[in-house]
Structure 1
């Protein structure tokens, strides 16, 4: 029997957590009042994968996790505990490695491979480029670092399938060069990935190759095992990763729904601003927008204004986040996504030529860049015969904005017409790729660049959030929630959030106590070799995960410092790191934490205590608002983490059953979480359909009210309560 959906528990597999380890969590998960275990990808991934999204075989349960026997035992044990299982599925890409059997077949047989249609490869651009060499092909060839063994071309520890076994085997450089040129692929220096790849990748990750699931055969091939697991009753729900990367997400989701008419489906879709979810046959999104609403309504508007003003005064930073984002977009599309830009320009030229439009390469380049820069969301959803009204209006607005800095707007209008009304094959090819690239550009420019530069208030620098609009009123959230699907997920932490929920609430505390943060800033060491903007960033990070007893705290902060600086791409980056600049920043945050350990500042304690109260308020909102709460691993209790890989550390199961008896914030959060989860499990109909209202309290922060059929839930949030647990007062609940 499929359990009623009331709450999910997200578990990250790998890193020491396999199916057997997951099974040990089941009694505790069920006891918490959770209905479904929600697993990161279970299918075979690259050897040693730390996350599982680099799938090499979607039709095999990963032996590293316990294989099919291990998953079968886990699923049956979950059923015995009254739990369903949700699996994370990756339809957009697989791993671009020789561990991928389908890809190996393509390398051996080229376009004639039975799997050639599976991969999004531009065969018109020539052989498939493999940018994996540490030096140029010629340099390695002349150094004698290449050879042939059997039917494989060997470079160091890497082996590449040959289209035919050579006879005799060439033993000289000329023979190896000729053999290499006779293949369906070309080995190249890794730097060619910037602008020379011929496959669609995941964002800027060249090691992941796009899949053409719009093709019926590919759709069936990618999902065969998933369908078997659902048909056998071992899986009760599906979470879809990065649907915006697909050629036609709408058609894909409709096809999937037709095959799985009774299975809940959620999409990882990042909605920005007031963007609505497209008309898709799904339960809803995975919930980034819900976490954003919670953080915004818990942010103090007056305090936020002060914090950002003081940041600008301290750092000399000028301008808005939108301006920082626009600059980042220009850099990312020309540098990290240069391959995608060149392909788009080529597709635009082919489409313009087919229309008989006379446009030069530079004119097309300017127009493509302008449209990409002006586009404010992840993507639109145009397809043959499909013209969503909202997307049409959006593209016309984008065209107007894109045309502003150009001398002539006719090329911008031409490309916009291709996207909105295109009918030819060339038009459609340009439109599909444009819609795929906008998401990659926004993700890399917003989340992974501007979000590490515009550092005034990091609580708002989240996936899908807008640091320039970081506050919402209770009325705003009430209106937003009224349109929410009852089974859309509500997340406050995930494997992809930039901070865990409790770390974020310590950052939100800054808006309620800007004086306290100002004291920490003033007391922190000045450093000429670390910019004020970077120190402001690191000070918030240190606050967010501060734990005097954590032996790994300094190492975690030092590791994160390197990642944050390289993502910001100012003084250092991933391609050409400045180790001296990184070391200076790491040493600064080390001295900061060591100083706090010697003498913990009163201001630090105040912000930590306030953050704990805000975290309890967050729990109350998450558990009572429309939608289904998704609990990230360990977040029943306290969970302080920065972005991955820090937030993917395994959670020790041994401490979980004792959380409700713990003292302080950890115990208070666990007790409140369990109480509300049990209430949701006992009254699912009420929570699925009750009216929701959020309002400012009389002398308190917020009041939550839900009503249905004479039953009422009424919760008061008071940050000034006499004791921590009094922060959330459940004054009435449905019986």
Structure 2
């Protein structure tokens, strides 16, 4: 029988050649590693060429490219026979906003009369559904004869948009074509108009993903029919809900999903910020564990070293702003550009909410200013106001946000009235405004912090991570122990995912610079002579960290991987280069600096580099130990049981060499083998001592090193890192500041 709560999970990332059949062949290896459950990325049909599967076309068909329903059934049955459970990642928030989406195609043909129109979060009050698909403005395409209406479709290039079922199906002239287009349930626009012209709810700023209205019981039923069937048939043993903060009512969603699948554990992808905790009323067994990854990195970061890193970084780059200032600037940039369409919509929704409020008169500019400040001052992803109003905690948070926002405005009247309407929605207009504000605040924080300020503020990239705070790289004993005391055995503990900005071992390379702050500063300053003049010190400091994070990887692909990351970092930072307007000069300069640094280090490996890597290897082993021994259960991202050095996607989604992984247990000495051996040892201990790990109390202490102690009924497990210990140990490696020992009695 499969235990509903895992002792350890193994994350499988489908697509890019990874199919059900391919994973079925690895089940024995995964089981022998010490894993209890496979943790699967989305399996439902996605657009052709999808590299990750989160852009589902609709969760009603298992993707034929993965093996279809028959292949999934075989995988599930084989996994259960092997003794492995299955956790399935589901995506209730959105589907792909593409013409392959048959539900969407029906809406394009029939408009609001389509049975699928209520499925999508579309603002029909603003007119026909906007499709920002055109490569050029529509007038230009019409005049050049690049649009053709025939056989029930409007065609341009290889794109075919369904025409209205009740109107003409062809056009004989440009005027006929313009009349035909005006009669559609949709409006084609140039892709650049997505900033302020869309009429559907997006995933963050990704226009090609459209929000689903799963708060509607009929939509929930339609989008979860197959999911529920797979669980009830015994093929799936647990669910992971992607991006739950994008939903209109996360708590209400779980209250519908959980009773439909009694006794089935449900995890949620929820980013907890600062001291935020998961609402105990939510019907979930826990989060997917980004907050645990943050704790581990903070415990392993050298406090004194971070202070020196900060001094070196500021002296070298000349940057004086703190991270909160950088984040506020990034939020304003994102609202002005990436999320300007959402801001326009919020202004309209706020205007409707205040329409009958006689205590305030608000024009569009006053509303825009107030909404911007409310969003910028939100320190978390969102609040959770529903039809009952705000909880006590959320009321206090909203009051604090309103006070801070009011202090930045010439007049506080509008923002204070909006705050009251948010805390206690009375009308439908109030509710619509509150819901959308909460959905946008999460998108804003994610885009501004993870994908903008996290690339701009380059001090210590180990802390620029999903769910982490760049200006809080260390943790006190009191905060760490409070976190451990609140943690359930059913909580997941991760160190790498398909979304982390750096993989676990690359992150430890960066944590290691806090232990060698002066040595890293010398590395950067020595590399300075290799940098093109047009590359700012900010990016030089960043790139040296990136090269360090991947150093030692396959030299045939290393430069290309770093070039791809340079491009992403520069464009996500949105300072000199942009996805919509790349600056080839600055991107080329970054690549030339990267290549020169790689060549320099290959010809003469600096002693500082060797010292940092030696410490990083020890830190990686300590990270494995903490992940496996902390309260909760560990999740191994595919291939992460061995050496795993990667930067942000797509680098962290490269193919896994299963043959290399299988040979680690019997291979030559080295970091990868030690990591795999420690992983196997601790996963076996967790499996054999499940009761201890479920119930044992935990305590950490940072005193000339790190100690984690867990105890239950006279039995104790102790991990020490960074200081020598005596006596028998279950595992011992390293010496001095890199010493790691695990004792079990």
1:247-266 deviations in Å (ceiling 9; x for gaps): 11110011111111211111
* Residue matched to 1:22: 23
1:355-401 deviations in Å (ceiling 9; x for gaps): 23421221111111111111111000000114221111100000010
Does residue 1:560 correspond to 2:561, yes or no?
Answer: no
Does residue 1:391 correspond to 2:394, yes or no?
Answer: yes
Q: Secondary structure at the match of 1:557?
A: helix
* Structure 1 gap segments, 5+ residues each: none
Q: Secondary structure at the match of 1:56?
A: coil
Does residue 1:338 correspond to 2:340, yes or no?
Answer: yes
Q: Which stretch shifts more, 255-264 or 436-445?
A: 255-264
Q: Which stretch shifts more, 493-502 or 401-410?
A: 401-410
* Residue matched to 1:13: 14
* Residue matched to 1:329: 331
Deviation for aligned residue 1:670: 0.7
* Residue matched to 2:728: none
User: Which one of 467, 470, 474 corresponds to residue 473 of structure 2?
Assistant: 470
Does residue 1:435 correspond to 2:438, yes or no?
Answer: yes
Deviation for aligned residue 1:147: 0.8
Q: Secondary structure at the match of 1:592?
A: helix
* Residue matched to 2:660: 655
* Residue matched to 2:729: none
Does residue 1:453 correspond to 2:465, yes or no?
Answer: no
1:431-489 deviations in Å (ceiling 9; x for gaps): 00000000000001000000001101000101121111111133421221100121111
* Residue matched to 2:741: 729
Does residue 1:668 correspond to 2:674, yes or no?
Answer: yes
* Residue matched to 1:592: 597
Deviation for aligned residue 1:164: 2.4
Matches within 5 A, 1:520-535: 520-524=523-527, 525-535=530-540
Conservation of the 8 A alpha-carbon contact between 1:696 and 1:702: yes
Deviation for aligned residue 1:169: 2.6
* Residue matched to 1:359: 362
Deviation for aligned residue 1:556: 0.3
* Residue matched to 2:2: 2
Conservation of the 8 A alpha-carbon contact between 1:548 and 1:597: no
Does residue 1:547 correspond to 2:559, yes or no?
Answer: no
Deviation for aligned residue 1:506: 0.6
* Residue matched to 1:485: 488
Deviation for aligned residue 1:497: 0.5
Rounded Cα–Cα distance in structure 2 between residues aligned with 1:208 and 1:222: 16
Rounded Cα–Cα distance in structure 2 between residues aligned with 1:405 and 1:504: 37
Q: Which stretch shifts more, 419-428 or 205-214?
A: 419-428
Q: 1:723 to 1:227 in 2, by over 3 A?
A: closer
1:478-536 deviations in Å (ceiling 9; x for gaps): 22110012111101100011000100001000000112212211210243111110010
Q: Secondary structure at the match of 2:410?
A: coil
1:639-662 deviations in Å (ceiling 9; x for gaps): 000000000111111111211233
Rounded Cα–Cα distance in structure 1 between residues aligned with 2:702 and 2:522: 29
Rounded Cα–Cα distance in structure 1 between residues aligned with 2:658 and 2:398: 50
* Residue matched to 1:425: 428
Q: Secondary structure at the match of 1:406?
A: coil
1:145-203 deviations in Å (ceiling 9; x for gaps): 11123111111110111112755731211111111110000100001101110000000
* Residue matched to 1:62: 63
Q: Which stretch shifts more, 660-669 or 719-728?
A: 719-728
User: Which one of 565, 580, 594 corresponds to residue 575 of structure 1?
Assistant: 580
Rounded Cα–Cα distance in structure 2 between residues aligned with 1:499 and 1:409: 42
* Residue matched to 1:689: 695
Does residue 1:644 correspond to 2:649, yes or no?
Answer: yes
* Residue matched to 2:713: 709
* Residue matched to 2:542: 537
Q: 1:249 to 1:649 in 2, by over 3 A?
A: same
Taking structure 2 as the reference length, what is the TM-score of the superposition? 0.96
Conservation of the 8 A alpha-carbon contact between 1:489 and 1:627: yes
User: Which one of 310, 313, 326 corresponds to residue 311 of structure 1?
Assistant: 313
* Residue matched to 2:72: 71
Does residue 1:407 correspond to 2:413, yes or no?
Answer: no
* Residue matched to 1:283: 285
Rounded Cα–Cα distance in structure 1 between residues aligned with 2:474 and 2:169: 71
Rounded Cα–Cα distance in structure 2 between residues aligned with 1:705 and 1:475: 15
Q: Secondary structure at the match of 2:556?
A: coil
Matches within 5 A, 1:168-317: 169-279=170-280, 280-317=282-319
Q: Secondary structure at the match of 2:555?
A: coil
Conservation of the 8 A alpha-carbon contact between 1:150 and 1:165: no
The root-mean-square deviation of aligned C-alpha atoms, in Å, is: 1.4
Conservation of the 8 A alpha-carbon contact between 1:147 and 1:171: no
1:268-294 deviations in Å (ceiling 9; x for gaps): 000000001123110110100000011
Rounded Cα–Cα distance in structure 2 between residues aligned with 1:596 and 1:165: 68
Does residue 1:499 correspond to 2:511, yes or no?
Answer: no
Taking structure 1 as the reference length, what is the TM-score of the superposition? 0.98
Deviation for aligned residue 1:665: 0.9
* Structure 2 gap segments, 5+ residues each: 726-731
Rounded Cα–Cα distance in structure 2 between residues aligned with 1:83 and 1:168: 54
Rounded Cα–Cα distance in structure 1 between residues aligned with 2:137 and 2:734: 62
Q: 1:345 to 1:548 in 2, by over 3 A?
A: closer
Rounded Cα–Cα distance in structure 1 between residues aligned with 2:92 and 2:166: 34
Q: 1:384 to 1:165 in 2, by over 3 A?
A: closer
Q: 1:547 to 1:719 in 2, by over 3 A?
A: farther
Q: Secondary structure at the match of 1:191?
A: helix
Rounded Cα–Cα distance in structure 2 between residues aligned with 1:197 and 1:719: 58
Q: Secondary structure at the match of 1:703?
A: strand
* Residue matched to 1:611: 616
Q: Which stretch shifts more, 388-397 or 703-712?
A: 703-712
Rounded Cα–Cα distance in structure 2 between residues aligned with 1:295 and 1:548: 22
Matches within 5 A, 1:84-95: 84-95=85-96
Conservation of the 8 A alpha-carbon contact between 1:9 and 1:38: yes
Deviation for aligned residue 1:627: 0.7
Rounded Cα–Cα distance in structure 1 between residues aligned with 2:374 and 2:8: 41
